[in-house]
Amino acid sequence: MAAGLNLFTELLQLYWPHSSDYGLLNLAELLLFLLAVPVYVGFALNRQQSKLLFIPLLFLLWRLLDFWPLEALLAGGSYRLYAASGQLLLGFLVLKAVRRREVAVASEEPLFSWGHFWFYGLLSVPLLPLILLLLSYATASNLIEGYSAGFVRLKPNGLYMIEKVYVQAEKEIRLAGMIHLGREGYYAALADSFNAGQSLLLAEGVSDTQGLLRGQFSYGNLADLLGLASQEEFRFPGRLIDVESLDLPLTTEADIPDILRADIDLQEFDPRSVEVLNALGRYLLNSSSPVQGYLDFSNWAAQNITPQTNQILMDDLIKKRNQAVLSYLPKGLHKYRTLLIPWGALHMPGIEAAVVERGFVLQESRERLSIDFARLPYEGLWENISGAAGGLVGPGR
């Protein structure tokens, strides 16, 4: 059932890219997992049950990893279609083999055996934690992709940021989900992809003309701890322009993109939002131990942040800033052929909805590896975590 629905969904995605929805497929696979439980229990209770039925169960576990690393091995984006075809073919072959075995085997031995039962019980000791781990990974992956409207993708090897290209007639809008910390190669690849003239980049970055932030608000400490680069150190190549320049004609000799600061100033934030940002910088971002800083900020937040404060903060950080960048679309599209909006991934659901509302259609998606799990400095992370834990149980705690 899941294989057939998976194949149908991928074929629909292949010919009608904007019409398919994986919600029904995910529901079907959840039901299949529930049905797989009695099948697995049946292996322990029925010694004559064909072990070939293990193969579809293993394929189902592989589906939790989105068939990784099949995507990297196959050229193009149709790896799910190949996997679905293989899953369906495998299901037929296993079913046919099981039926042949049932006809060939006519054993008078009892179906149940205590030795057989305990064997599968012991087999479950390492298997069940693995299944729970895969289910946790799949759940986290779906939540991340759902909350970010598909602009962030979690895979076993790392975290990927997605860029979506929308087109309408001769106009193009590139929405690139961003992250504050990432590989230098990730930022460099994005910059290299946007270096042509007669294009406009709507830059993210809240200004602070009134000096409302106390101290340095930087992700440098976290970047050093994780062995990553910080987005604040990254610069797109281009020519910085002001708002008035949008009303001027575009020069044909332009050979690099124009860059417009399309964000708001901190004075437009609610004072409670500014207070949270100052606490974030004081406790977390400027702490000598980011892990201890996180604990300190969590304690402060528990005492000072209310549900109302959370709502105000989200309105300031997301809603107001989205309205600011979207206000530049009319003039930007009138003057330029291509607009690039490289903003934080949490901004993208609202920005994407506004772009679609203007009649733009998704043409393609591109993904870039932002955090490579294999290259994270786990030894340093463990020392930082264990040091913070030791401080919690030390004197005076």
Pairing state between β 181-182 and 229-230:
antiparallel
Res. 370: pLDDT tops 50:
yes
Identify whether residues 86 and 216 lie together within a single domain. Answer: no
Task: Report how many domains make up the chain.
Answer: 2
Identify whether residues 122 and 157 lie together within a single domain. Answer: no
Domain boundary among 96, 126, 147: 147
pLDDT at position 397, please?
44
Task: Kindly report the pTM of this predicted structure.
Answer: 0.84
Pairing state between β 171-178 and 158-168:
antiparallel
Identify whether residues 296 and 312 lie together within a single domain. Answer: yes
The model's pLDDT over 94-126, given as tens digits with 9 standing for 90+, comes to: 778 777 766 555 555 677 788 878 888 888 888
State which residues form the domain around 197: 152-393
The model's pLDDT over 22-42, given as tens digits with 9 standing for 90+, comes to: 555 566 666 777 777 777 787
Res. 389: pLDDT tops 70:
no
Q: Which amino acid is at 216?
A: Q
The model's pLDDT over 56-74, given as tens digits with 9 standing for 90+, comes to: 778 888 888 888 888 877 7
Determine contact, residues 142/131, Cβ cutoff 8 Å: no
Res. 239: pLDDT tops 80:
yes
Q: Which amino acid is at 208?
A: D
Residue 244 DSSP symbol: G
* Beta-bridge partner residues of 201: 259, 340
Distance CA 22, CA 7 (A): 11
What does the longest C-alpha to C-alpha distance in the chain come to?
A: 90
Distance CA 191, CA 214 (A): 31
Residues 6+ apart with CB under 8 A from 248: none
For 203, the 3-state DSSP assignment is strand
Comparison of pLDDT for 92 and 345, the residue scoring more: 345
Distance CA 32, CA 61 (A): 11
pLDDT at position 284, please?
87
Res. 333: pLDDT tops 50:
yes
pLDDT at position 242, please?
94
The model's pLDDT over 133-157, given as tens digits with 9 standing for 90+, comes to: 988 998 899 899 989 999 999 999 9
Identify whether residues 183 and 92 lie together within a single domain. Answer: no
Residue 318 DSSP symbol: I
End-to-end CA distance of the chain: 56
Domain boundary among 101, 131, 147: 147
Identify whether residues 248 and 388 lie together within a single domain. Answer: yes
Identify whether residues 177 and 322 lie together within a single domain. Answer: yes
Comparison of pLDDT for 365 and 6, the residue scoring more: 365
Res. 340: pLDDT tops 70:
yes
Q: Which amino acid is at 271?
A: P
Domain boundary among 87, 115, 147: 147
